[in-house]
Amino acid sequence: MSDRFDLTGRVAVITGGGTGIGRGAALVLAERGADVVLAGRRPDPLEQTAKEIRKLGRDALTVATDVTDPTQCDRLVETTMATFGRLDVLVNSAGGADTKPILKWTEDEFRHVMALNFESVWFLSRQAVQPMIAQGKGAIVNISSGASLLAMPQAAVYAAAKAAVNNVTGSMAAAWTRKGVRVNSIAVGAVAAATLLDDLERIGVDPDVIAKTNASQRLGDPEEIGHAVLFFASDASSFCSGQTLYVHGGPGPAGI
């Protein structure tokens, strides 16, 4: 029986690929045979991840990209096609936000968080799906958040943006699955990535307190999310599209 998790010969584009969940996903997909295009605003973390991928024997390309700019999203796809001649997997992992009370948000802050977490998925997916449709096959994996499923006043804008990602995942799946492109999302719980740890330090919250809110009693590891990405990116999920998988360590004492 062939290995349905094998990605040999496929090319994956991963936004936010230099750190955190994006880095974890990039390494997992490379371990399974994918060549990887890493996109993000900071070149140094991208290059470090690229070096790790090359040690695994896979090709890695870094493309400095601000995913809030649709023109740069277009350029990312164009560069991928010019270099590899194909695009099989898109992982929309770039994201993040500050936490603050609802009335403290400025208009510019609101628009930036929506652009980073939702608009980037909209613009980049619409561009990336075109070569996938031409190939007759592809997979888009959107990184959402458990915040999208909860009422979280301190993260209201971020949660709303990620809820929009969940919804548009279904819409894109309905539009594109019949053309060979599956679209799924992963609602991620608390993961030991710099974005969360830095934010917790800023607001004075012990990470162990957050870890004990789930049944596993710990924070997740970015590569654990990477394996969920692998499932959706590979043929192992060939009959799965339009779904949001909640990966959060299990329901805690409150059943959440």
**Cα–Cα distance between 174 and 123 in angstroms, integer?**
17
- CATH classification code of 11-245: 3.40.50.720
Catalytic, 246? Answer no
CA neighbor of 69 nearest in space, from 88, 47, 46, 41: 41
- 181-220 per-residue burial string, b: 16 or more CB within 10 A, e: under 16: bbbbbbbbbbbbbeebbeebeeeeeeeeebbebbeeeebb
pLDDT tens sequence across 149-186: 999 999 999 999 999 999 999 999 999 999 999 999 99
CA neighbor of 252 nearest in space, from 106, 150, 166, 179: 150
Contacts 24+ apart (CB under 8 A), 38-45: 38/14, 38/62, 38/63, 39/13, 39/14, 39/15, 39/63, 39/64, 39/65, 39/67, 39/76, 39/94, 40/15, 40/16, 40/64, 40/65, 40/94, 41/65, 41/66, 42/18, 44/18, 45/18, 45/19
pLDDT tens sequence across 25-64: 999 999 999 999 999 999 999 999 999 999 999 999 999 9
Q: Which of 118, 123, 158, 176 is catalytic?
A: 158
- DSSP alpha helix (H) spans, the chain: 20-31, 43-55, 70-84, 107-114, 120-135, 156-176, 194-203, 207-211, 222-233
Mean pLDDT over each residue of the chain, to the nearest integer? 93
Pairing status of strand 35-40 against strand 11-15:
parallel
Phi-psi region of 96 (alpha: psi -120 to 50; beta: other; left: phi over 0): left
Domain boundaries in the chain? 11-245
What confidence score (pLDDT) does residue 193 get? 72
Residue 144: pLDDT band (50, 70, 90) is very high
Whether the predicted pLDDT of 96 surpasses 50: yes
**Cα–Cα distance between 104 and 47 in angstroms, integer?**
36
Q: How is residue 213 written in tokens? A: 């809110």
Residue 252: pLDDT band (50, 70, 90) is confident
